[in-house]
Structure 1
Amino acid sequence: MLNPWRLRLLSQLDSLGTVRAVAQAANLSASSVSQQLAVLEAETKTRLLERTGRRVRLTPAGLMLARRARAILDQMDGVEAELRSLGDEPVGQVRLGAFQSAIHSLCVPAVTQLAHTHPNLDIELVELEPHASMPALRVGDADIIITTTDFVEHPLGADVDIVPLATDPIVLVLPPGRAARGPADLAAYANEPWAFDMPKSYMANLATRLCRESGFEPRVVCRFSNYMMTLQHVEAGLSIALLPGLAVDPRYRVTTRELATPVTRTITAVIRRGAPPRAAVNLVLEALRRFRDLPIADPRLGDSRRILAPAPRSHAGPG
């Protein structure tokens, strides 16, 4: 009989690549992961792993089982949720991963509302930046993620469905009193001290690219993984920054300017395509749609992926 927990470890090995990475994700020791995978081989009476030097890789049989495991686990989750909700409202856990600025603007309002209307629904909210959220979705560590289709380092694939939520402009953030008329030309800020996100993050890569396209290498004086700390640093007059509009908390006394060459990111909710429909997941998606504030306007969404239709709006205008 296949053990779901061991199947999850095998699926994670396929996605994460190493036993050490699986152990870290599962909060286990590497030896414990190896032992459980060995038990799974005994259960299936099939060689699933082979060693190449100091590394372990999946055999063709292991690769097949790892990729079927995700669908098996999704089916089991769906059946359990369906059993719990028979004759009653949707219940069970939904794991929602989102980047910083979407948490306070979209997720917290949606989760707060659902806590009142569906108290038996258990929503686990996890901060996941775009570079981490798609791997988490694919290995089953998240049921829904909020990400951006513009994060080219981890493009969306044919194995997911996307639900458009909002578009969000990238703005220049300046200390109070630094306002100027009209959109900002970044070249005029080439000699300024800059506050950046952590290396290889979505905003760090985007800000670096925009500065270089404007003809200069930014002088980075600080890096924060928390937008609140960035806003505090800018408010103190110690730096300037490029941030998503949703990240600019009105509690901070900063000035924002649109860019002379507008840049926007498209915010979407994403679910695994092969997962069976779950009433609890659908409820969370509907709640997220209700709290979107901005129109969708990104032609890149019109590709071969199936796009789930947005919920009807109560007013005229873009959905």
Structure 2
Amino acid sequence: MMNPWRLRLLSQLDTLGTVRAVAQAANLSPSSVSQQLAALEAETRTQLLERTGRRVRLTSAGLILARRARAILDQMEGVEAELRGFGEEPAGLVRLGCFQSAIHTMAVPAVSRLARAHPHLDIELLQLEPHESMPALRVGDADIIITTTDFDALPLGPDLDLVPLATDPVLLVLPPGHPAAGRGAVDLAALADEPWTFDMPQTYMANLALRLCRQAGFEPRVVGRFGNYMMTLQHVEAGLSIALLPGLAVDRRYRVATRELPAGVTRTITAAIRRGSPPRAAVRAVLDALRRHPELPLPDAG
């Protein structure tokens, strides 16, 4: 009998690449992870791992089991939900991963509606930026993610199903008294000498902002980096910088001006789930609630 928890660790090793990374994700020590994987080898009576220098890698048998483990775990979770006796009534835990600017505008309203409609449904809301959410979905740390499927998004592959949710413009954000705080689109090249605030390095919005500035012909002078959009808005409101932010992130409580970009840059917001057996009733309910967001336009089919 294979232990489901150990199967999850094996699946994470396939996705994350190292025992140390699996240990960090599972909040365990590397030695504990190694012990659990050794126990899984004993359960399966198969060599799943081989050591090359200081690193451990999966054998052919290990790869096969790791990549089937996610489907096995999904089926077990579905059976457990059915056995709770609620039938098609959404019930049980759904882990929803969501990037920062969509949490209060999309995820929280959906979760609030679901709490009233389905009292046996529990939703754990996780802040996961696009570069974090796809690996979390694949290893089973999230059941649904809200992510982006353009710009620097990670490869999707055939193992995921996508549900388009909305489009969101990328806006230039300026102090209210800034000379460029007028109407209509603005050319970023005219702002080459301005101080800029960016997201943290290698995040989705930091990479996008850098790309747009370079396409306009300049290297931005970055004076602030924040992993929280509220701090970025405070910095801009104080007149200390300008920024590029998704429309969802621009909280109206802050006194800032926004301008569109000439190319009409937008991002596509998408929900993703693992492909396999049909999603259980709880997952379908969360997807339906996310699609009923009243304020955002659906992306064009073409």
State the TM-score bracket (shorter-chain normalisation).
over 0.9
CA apart distance, 1:88: 7.0
Deviation per CA, 1:150-207, whole angstroms, max 9, x where unpaired?
A: 1434122111111111000000000012222321110111000000000000000000
Matched to 1:244, the amino acid is P
Q: Residues 51 and 57 of structure 1 are in contact (CA less than 8 Å); yes or no, is this contact kept in structure 2? A: yes
Q: 1:212 to 1:43 in 2, by over 3 A?
A: same
Structure 1 segment 75-114 matched on structure 2, within 5 A: 75-87=75-87, 89-114=89-114
Stretches of 4+ aligned residues off by more than 6 angstroms? none
CA apart distance, 1:298: 4.6
Out of 229, 233, 236, the residue aligned to residue 234 of structure 1 is 236
Secondary structure of 1:81's partner? helix
Match of 1:64 in 2: 64
Is 1:47 paired with 2:29? no
Secondary structure of 1:250's partner? coil
Match of 1:205 in 2: 207
Deviation per CA, 1:247-287, whole angstroms, max 9, x where unpaired?
A: 00001000000111210000010001114420000000111
Structure 1 segment 182-261 matched on structure 2, within 5 A: 182-261=184-263
In the alignment, structure 1 segments of 5+ residues that lack a partner are: 303-319
In the alignment, structure 2 segments of 5+ residues that lack a partner are: none
Q: Give the Cα–Cα distance (whole angstroms) in 1 for the partners of residues 255 and 205 of structure 2.
A: 21
Q: Residues 48 and 59 of structure 1 are in contact (CA less than 8 Å); yes or no, is this contact kept in structure 2? A: yes
Structure 1 segment 1-319 matched on structure 2, within 5 A: 1-87=1-87, 89-178=89-178, 179-298=181-300
Matched to 1:92, the amino acid is G
Q: Give the Cα–Cα distance (whole angstroms) in 2 for the partners of residues 88 and 78 of structure 1.
A: 11
Matched to 1:71, the amino acid is A
Q: Residues 166 and 292 of structure 1 are in contact (CA less than 8 Å); yes or no, is this contact kept in structure 2? A: no
Matched to 1:274, the amino acid is G
Q: Residues 193 and 239 of structure 1 are in contact (CA less than 8 Å); yes or no, is this contact kept in structure 2? A: yes
Q: 1:264 to 1:36 in 2, by over 3 A?
A: same
Matched to 1:64, the amino acid is I
CA apart distance, 1:291: 1.4
Number of aligned pairs? 300
Secondary structure of 1:111's partner? helix
Q: Give the Cα–Cα distance (whole angstroms) in 1 for the partners of residues 119 and 195 of structure 2.
A: 47
Secondary structure of 1:233's partner? helix
CA-based RMSD of the aligned residues comes to 1.2
Percent of aligned pairs with the same amino acid: 79
Q: Give the Cα–Cα distance (whole angstroms) in 1 for the partners of residues 23 and 196 of structure 2.
A: 37
Matched to 1:251, the amino acid is R
Q: 1:153 to 1:269 in 2, by over 3 A?
A: closer
Secondary structure of 1:166's partner? strand
Q: Residues 152 and 207 of structure 2 are in contact (CA less than 8 Å); yes or no, is this contact kept in structure 1? A: no
Secondary structure of 2:95's partner? strand
Matched to 1:60, the amino acid is S
Q: 1:26 to 1:292 in 2, by over 3 A?
A: farther
Secondary structure of 2:57's partner? strand
CA apart distance, 1:296: 2.8
